[in-house]
C-alpha cells in the first residue's frame, strides 16, 4: 500500500506562487473585455476638412485617369484616308512582292 508523503509547506508555497504567476500571464495575454476586430468597430466620423481633402484627391485622380483615357483613344483613332491615297499603288506592289516572297515559286 502506497502512502502519500505529508504535504510540505515549502512545495505548497512554490506551487501557489507558480499558479498565481500563470494566472497573471493569462490575464496579460487575454484580449480586453470589449475587444472587437477593427472592421467591426463603429466608424469614427471624419472631420469636414478631412472629407473635403479626400474628395479633392479622388477628383484629381479620376480627372487624371480621364485625361489618360482620352489621349490613349486619340492615339488609336483611324487617321484620315487622304494621306494614303497616293500610296495605294505602292501598297499594291508591296503586296505582290510579299506574295512572291511567301510562296514557294522559284524565280528562274
DSSP 75-100: HHSPPPGGGGSTTHHHHHHHHHHHHH
Residue 20: predicted pLDDT: 95
Task: Give Cα 7 distance to the centre of its chain.
Answer: 63
Number of neighbouring beta carbons within 10 Å of residue 2 = 3
What's the angle, vertex CA 25, arms to CA 22 and CA 27, rounded to 5? Answer: 110
Q: Is 64 or 72 the better-scoring residue by pLDDT?
A: 64
pTM score, two decimals? 0.35
Q: Is the confidence at residue 15, as pLDDT, over 70? A: yes
Confidence of residue 67 (pLDDT cuts 50, 70, 90): very high
Amino acid at each position: 500500500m502506497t502512502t502519500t508523503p505529508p504535504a510540505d509547506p515549502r512545495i505548497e508555497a512554490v506551487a501557489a506562487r507558480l499558479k498565481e504567476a500563470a494566472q497573471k500571464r493569462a490575464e496579460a495575454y487575454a484580449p480586453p473585455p470589449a475587444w472587437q476586430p477593427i472592421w467591426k468597430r463603429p466608424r469614427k466620423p471624419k472631420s469636414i476638412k478631412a472629407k473635403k481633402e479626400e474628395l479633392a484627391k479622388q477628383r484629381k485622380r479620376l480627372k487624371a485617369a480621364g485625361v489618360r483615357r482620352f489621349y490613349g483613344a486619340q492615339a488609336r483613332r483611324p487617321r484620315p484616308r487622304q494621306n494614303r491615297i497616293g500610296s495605294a499603288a505602292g501598297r499594291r506592289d508591296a503586296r505582290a512582292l510579299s506574295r512572291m516572297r511567301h510562296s514557294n515559286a522559284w524565280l528562274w
